[in-house]
Structure 1
Amino acid sequence: MSNIEEEREKEKALAAAKEQKHIERQKKIKANVDERVAQATEERGVLVVITGNGKGKSTSGFGTVLRAIGHGQKAGIVQFIKGSKWECGEMNILKQFPIQHHVMGTGFTWETQSTETDIAAAKVAWQKSKEMLSDESLDIVLLDEMTYMVKYGYIELDEIIEALNNRPKMQHVLITGRACHRRLIELADTVSEVQPIKHAFKAGIKAQKGLDW
């Protein structure tokens, strides 16, 4: 056997050994995943919090609602903060389906500059939220940007927690917004924190249709 042929055989042997290690590693990963799946037997509604200062929290919430609708489930959405004049691309799609939907309607707090107006609108939005959280026909409820209502003291935190604890057993709830209160984070089953690395707006690029709303 020539030196070239010997080198080729060595390379084949090394490649085969590497492939076998990969197979063994993947088998261990699969076994671990299978075990975790087998252990996850509880079935109930899940409370999800999507918080942090990064972009994409509401988009994630709306995307999850769209997924649920795709499976034939019924959804409810309450949008806090956003005003009725703000177009919402996600809702342009979702409103084509028979969902329950309420918009707080006053816009951002720096637009109204009226605490009294904001509190009144927040209480109406929260009443709609409570109705959804007690509706057994709804499989999933999105409370978009609700964390601000807690931060500003517009809605009592204890009342929110009570409603979440007493909701139908199989109902999923998504809460989005910055600076989520620690008690809601502790109560949640799943928490994702979206952190900003860069944002076009800070570089002077204005918010654009289709990308930002």
Structure 2
Amino acid sequence: MQIETPPSEKPYEKPEGERRGLVIVNTGDGKGKSTAAFGLAFRATGRGKAVKVFQFMKVPSARFGEHRLADQVGLAVEGLGDGFSWKSRDLEHSAQLARDGWAKASAAILSGEYFLVVLDEVTYPLIYGWLPLQDVLDTLARRPKDVHVCLTGRRCPQEIIDVADTVTEMKLIKHAFQAGIPAQRGIED
């Protein structure tokens, strides 16, 4: 580790542009994409903002830690899927759930009712060909100017990265699962 001297001056100038809704992408092979998106959702909820989270791969009955806290603070989370593809008994049904879910998510974004809409794990139905990429791009382009949208998932299409305002790639360095350690409640679920 190299020791650094703390900055003595602010390392940036305050931006002069207008405040507006952002497109935020959390992608990459590392852990933390959904966790970061939920952090945004809880932050906005804590500020009294209207937030909706759509989870494209989680089942509607999912009760992970984020769902339990979301219930406590009044954050709306909706599972749209039937689990990951290797658990699906009918991939066409999974694809239809994604399309039906996208109709709900797109309507929520375009309604202007929400300060932030999270599209958790939306990249999977996109890269599986279950959702038309152009529909997502059109919704992002047509959203009301004050609506923020956060998209998560591995292998985010470049076309979404190109229109996004902020893109973070979570890079896998090391993961406990690779060492044979199972998912830990409260950490991964």
**Could you state the TM-score of these two structures normalised by the residue count of structure 2?**
0.92
How far apart, CA to CA, are the structure 1 residues paired with 2:56 and 2:75?
A: 17
> Over residues 4-59 of structure 1, what are the superposed CA-to-partner deviations in whole Å (9 max), with x where a residue is unaligned?
xxxxxxxxxxxxxxxxxx79x623xx2x52xx20x332211000000000001000
Amino acid corresponding to residue 8 of structure 2 in structure 1: Q
Question: Comparing 116-125 with 187-196, which one deviates more in the overlay?
Answer: 116-125
- The percent of aligned pairs where both chains have the same amino acid is 37
- Unpaired runs of 5+ residues, structure 1, are 1-21
The answer to whether the aligner puts 1:78 opposite 2:54 as a matched pair is yes
The answer to whether the aligner puts 1:26 opposite 2:2 as a matched pair is no
User: Which residue of the partner structure matches residue 181 of structure 2?
Assistant: 205
Amino acid corresponding to residue 97 of structure 2 in structure 1: A
Aligned residues: 185
1:82–1:105 CA contact under 8 A, matched in 2? yes
Q: CA RMSD for the aligned pairs?
A: 1.7
Amino acid corresponding to residue 80 of structure 1 in structure 2: F
How does 1:39-78 map onto structure 2 within 5 Å? 39-78=15-54
How far apart, CA to CA, are the structure 2 residues paired with 1:171 and 1:66?
A: 16
* Matched position secondary structure for 1:50: strand
Shift of 1:140: 0.3
Considering fraction of residues, name the structure with more helix. 1
Amino acid corresponding to residue 156 of structure 1 in structure 2: P
Shift of 1:101: 3.2
Shift of 1:84: 3.7
Change (3 A) 1:47 1:101: same
How far apart, CA to CA, are the structure 1 residues paired with 2:134 and 2:41?
A: 26
User: Which residue of the partner structure matches residue 148 of structure 1?
Assistant: 124
Amino acid corresponding to residue 49 of structure 2 in structure 1: Q
Amino acid corresponding to residue 20 of structure 2 in structure 1: R
Shift of 1:149: 1.0
User: Which residue of the partner structure matches residue 138 of structure 1?
Assistant: 114
The answer to whether the aligner puts 1:117 opposite 2:93 as a matched pair is yes
How far apart, CA to CA, are the structure 1 residues paired with 2:79 and 2:59?
A: 7
1:84–1:107 CA contact under 8 A, matched in 2? no
1:83–1:108 CA contact under 8 A, matched in 2? no
Amino acid corresponding to residue 68 of structure 2 in structure 1: N
1:79–1:104 CA contact under 8 A, matched in 2? yes
- Unpaired runs of 5+ residues, structure 2, are none
2:28–2:153 CA contact under 8 A, matched in 1? yes
User: Which has more radius of gyration?
Assistant: 1
